[in-house]
Amino acid sequence: MQRGTISIHLVEEALVVARARGIDTDAILAGAGITPALLGDDEARVPATQYAALWLGLARALDCEFFGMDRHPMRPGSFTLMCRSAHGAETVGQGLRRALRFIGLILDDFQATLRREGERAAIVLTEREEPRRAFTYCTFWLIIHGLTCWLAGRRIPVLAAEFRCAAPPYIDDYRTLFTHDLRYGRAQTRLEFDAAALDLPVRRSEAELKSFLRRAPANILVKYRSNDSLTVRVRHELRRHSPMEWPDFDTLALGLHMSASTLRRRLDGEGQSFQSIKDSLRRDLAIRCLTRGAASIADIAEQLGFAEPSSFHRAFKKWTGLQPNEYRRRHAPEREASV
């Protein structure tokens, strides 16, 4: 779970309602191990576990597990009760319908229904007012989709996501969490997946439920992220080796049973390149090393496969807008809290 990071853009989105209510968000950020100075730095990222801690901190401060984004609060404990209502279902579809009915009793501003449309199923949101932020919809989906995947015991790939709202300035993490097929300005807000998933049996014990609840929401931020894209397959292949042993492009393509030209074309179709994938992995590894350990910058550079520390300095500044030492200093409270 430590491998994943979350953009500072989503941290900013999570704080919107708390700020509007005059809550001391700096204290909540500090409690989650996130340095407030990172806000406003468009390239900054935080570990997923810290974002999960921020979510819990805001839930306590707002008395709402939905970041205060509905007129009726989703009071702390609601997620647990929703999961318990779905836990005893015989199939994933039955459990999902129970969860949607439960959360529909809590939230006022929109209602969710499950539809089976041929080979696809869709969670469709019916709203009473103007479109919400994309962050609102994605938070709702993250909760529901994470529970659904847990009921199934596996990732349920999202085939498409449609939004009534316009595209927000930042969507990269939404692609990672859900799907690359994001559509904005649509008549409905809906999440689509394979209808066959609804018929999967639910075989989860009470012990497994308690473990799932104990680890939430960090587990739904990372474990059930989108893994149905070629980009994720490439990341998985690279993670099997240390950066110093990463295969070259032709060798990677061979291992994925396709030609180099096909791999390049398909990655391009997902808006990615081999270099951008390697950069994002190195960035996440670098952030983890800087915030979770005491290794020297030179050692981190070597672990990440850089020939010289100066090359690592330049790359990290490009990724985050900060030098490694400065990033480490800003995260000093986070590192100390994790010792």
Report pLDDT digits (tens) over 279-335. Answer: 888 888 888 888 777 789 999 999 999 989 999 999 888 777 778 888 888 765 444
> What is the token pair recorded at 253?
């393509």
**What is the reported pLDDT for 2?**
35
pLDDT band at 1 (very low <50, low <70, confident <90, very high): very low
List, for residues 182-215, the tens digit of each pLDDT value: 999 999 999 999 999 999 999 889 999 999 999 8
**Residue 80: pLDDT over 80:** yes
Query: Of the ranges 97-101, 112-116, 141-145, 292-296, which one carries the lowest mean pLDDT score?
Result: 292-296
pLDDT score, position 276: 82
Q: Which of 62-71, 116-125, 280-289 is predicted least confidently?
A: 280-289
The confidence score (pLDDT) of residue 270 equals 60
Residues in the chain: 339
Is pLDDT at 338 greater than 70 in this prediction? no
Q: Which helix (H) or strand (E) holds 123?
A: strand 120-127
pTM for the model stands at 0.70
The radius of gyration computed from the CA coordinates of the chain, to the nearest angstrom, equals: 21
Alpha helices in the chain (DSSP H): 8-14, 16-20, 25-31, 48-62, 78-87, 92-104, 134-152, 172-177, 206-215, 218-222, 230-239, 249-255, 260-269, 274-292, 297-303, 309-320, 324-330, 332-337
Q: Which pLDDT band holds residue 269 (cuts at 50, 70, 90)?
A: low
Would the pLDDT of 337 be above 70?
no
pLDDT digits 0-9 by tens, 219-265:
888 766 655 567 778 888 898 888 999 999 999 999 999 999 999 88
User: Average pLDDT for residues 152-179, to the nearest whole number?
Assistant: 89
Per-chain mean pLDDT for the chain: 88
pLDDT of residue 109: 93
Q: Which two tokens stand for residue 270?
A: 């997902």
The pLDDT of residue 154 is: 81
Side-by-side strand order, sheet with 110-117: 110-117, 120-127, 189-194, 158-162, 182-183
Residue 27 has pLDDT above 70, yes or no: yes
pLDDT in the model for residue 124: 97
- Take residue 82 and report the two structure tokens written for it: 């929703």
CB atoms within 10 A of CB 88: 12
pLDDT reported for residue 198: 94
What is the CATH topology of the domain spanning 230-337? Arc Repressor Mutant, subunit A (1.10.10)
Report the percent of the chain where pLDDT is more than 70: 94
Mean pLDDT confidence for 78-85: 96
- Give pLDDT, residue 339: 32
